[in-house]
């Protein structure tokens, strides 16, 4: 009799669990997106349902149960459906366990990077997810980023996303640093150069080629790039900063430089 009772309780719990899973608003939303593409959710509905807070509150098992729906979206012929699937992955990447949860979907994201030109709007989002996995980037994610670093169709923003992700994930890998800085040097965009300089500073780099890159840009013609180089130098360890003393002193004493840049140079020169 007890066994029959326990079995009945188990069946009831299983049914309740299944019902609760079906009631998850994120799951419901994406089931609707996939089955009723003609009635897509509004932007407000999408982002109020799928965001860092709502996705972050879910148990990892529930996120894992929803992600196959995102994969189906990414494989859709409808570009809007694909974008919605990517939005879910972008929300998931904010979780501290995103590297583990999204590991099975790294190749799906990589496929977006190799997609046709018509899918170009999805590439930056895919790059962002691959480069933001926490707590550390899986080797497969690094491989995808590295493979697409040199592509000429990358926008400057996409190149920065790849470059910063690679430098952050492998700050002491001389080969990755060399390849990344070579690609960045071949693009004249000040925003790209400045973003990479900032990442090198955040890394507190000690790689000789990276330090040389910072040094060269302390004399860059663009004041914004010079400011980024000064900022990068100010973040380095004291013993490393010493090699830039002459350049930083010149900037500090140059009245034509902005007060902010001179202030940063002063900070970098402090013992």
- H helix intervals, the chain: 2-22, 25-35, 43-49, 52-56, 60-74, 79-92, 98-102, 106-113, 120-132, 139-148, 156-169, 174-185, 190-202, 208-217, 223-235, 238-241, 245-253, 259-269
Rounded to whole angstroms, how far apart are CA atoms 199 and 186?
18
Average pLDDT over residues 104-112: 95
Torsion of CA 59, 168, 150, 179, to 10 degrees: -150
Q: Which pLDDT score is estimated for 39?
A: 85
Neighbours of 111 (CB within 10 A): 14
- Specify whether the CB–CB gap between 243 and 210 falls below 8 A: no
pLDDT at residue 114, rounded to an integer: 85
| Across 226-250, average pLDDT | 96
Phi/psi at 211 (5° precision): -65, -35
Angle ∠(256,262,265) on CA atoms, nearest 5: 135
**pLDDT higher than threshold 90 for residue 96:** yes
| CA separation, residue 78 to residues 49, 66, 217 (Å) | 21, 20, 44
pLDDT value for 227: 96
Give 226's contacts (C-beta < 8 A, 6+ positions apart): 217, 218, 219, 220, 251, 257, 261
Q: What percent of the chain has pLDDT over 70?
A: 90
Instruction: Please give the pLDDT value at position 211.
Output: 98
Residue 130 CA to residue 38 CA, distance in Å, equals 30
Comparing CA positions, the residue from 149, 130, 152 lying closest to residue 141 is 130
**What local confidence, expressed as pLDDT, does residue 115 receive?**
75
Contact 231, 201 (CB under 8 A): yes
Q: Out of 22-36, 65-79, 217-231, which region has the weakest mean confidence (pLDDT)?
A: 22-36
- For residue 128, pLDDT beyond 60: yes
CB-CB contact of 255 with 269 (8 Å): no
pLDDT value, residue 45:
95
Predicted local confidence at residue 48, as pLDDT:
96
- Is the pLDDT at 99 greater than 70? The verdict is yes
The tokens for 223 are 């004041």
Q: Give the 3-state secondary structure of residue 264.
A: helix
pLDDT for position 117:
60
Whole-number mean pLDDT of the chain?
90
Tokens read off for 160: 């920065």
pLDDT band at 10 (very low <50, low <70, confident <90, very high): very low
Lowest mean pLDDT among 7-11, 111-115, 132-136, 164-168: 7-11
pLDDT (average), residues 108-131:
85
117-123 mean pLDDT: 68
Q: What mean pLDDT do residues 161-179 have? A: 97
Q: What is the per-residue pLDDT for 8?
A: 41
Q: 127: Cβ–Cβ under 8 A, 6 or more apart, which residues?
A: 113, 145, 148, 158, 161, 162, 165
At 2 the pLDDT is 40
pLDDT for the residue 118: 54
pLDDT above 60 (res 9): no
Mean pLDDT of 35-48: 91
């Amino acid at each position: 009799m007890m066994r029959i009772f326990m079995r009945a309780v188990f069946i009831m719990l299983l049914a309740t669990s299944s019902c609760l899973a079906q009631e998850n608003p994120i799951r419901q939303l994406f089931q609707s997106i996939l089955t009723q593409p003609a009635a897509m959710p509004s932007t407000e509905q999408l982002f109020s349902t799928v965001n860092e807070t709502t996705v972050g509150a879910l148990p990892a098992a529930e996120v894992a149960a929803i992600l196959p729906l995102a994969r189906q979206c990414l494989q859709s012929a409808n570009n809007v459906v694909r974008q919605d699937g990517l939005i879910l992955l972008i929300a998931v990447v904010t979780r501290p366990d995103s590297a583990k949860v999204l590991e099975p979907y790294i190749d799906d994201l990589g496929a977006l990077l190799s997609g046709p030109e018509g899918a170009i709007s999805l590439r930056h989002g895919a790059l962002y997810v691959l480069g933001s996995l926490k707590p550390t980037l899986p080797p497969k994610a690094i491989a995808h980023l590295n493979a697409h670093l040199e592509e000429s169709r990358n926008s400057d923003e996409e190149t920065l996303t790849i470059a910063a992700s690679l430098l952050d994930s492998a700050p002491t890998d001389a080969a990755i640093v060399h390849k990344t800085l070579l690609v960045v040097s071949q693009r004249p965009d000040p925003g790209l150069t400045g973003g990479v300089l900032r990442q090198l500073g955040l890394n507190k780099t000690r790689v000789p080629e990276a330090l040389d890159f910072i040094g060269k840009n302390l004399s860059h013609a663009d004041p914004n790039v010079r400011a980024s180089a000064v900022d990068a130098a100010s973040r380095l360890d004291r013993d490393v900063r010493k090699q830039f003393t002459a350049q930083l002193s010149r900037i500090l004493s140059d009245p034509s430089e902005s007060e902010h840049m001179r202030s940063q140079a002063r900070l970098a020169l402090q013992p």
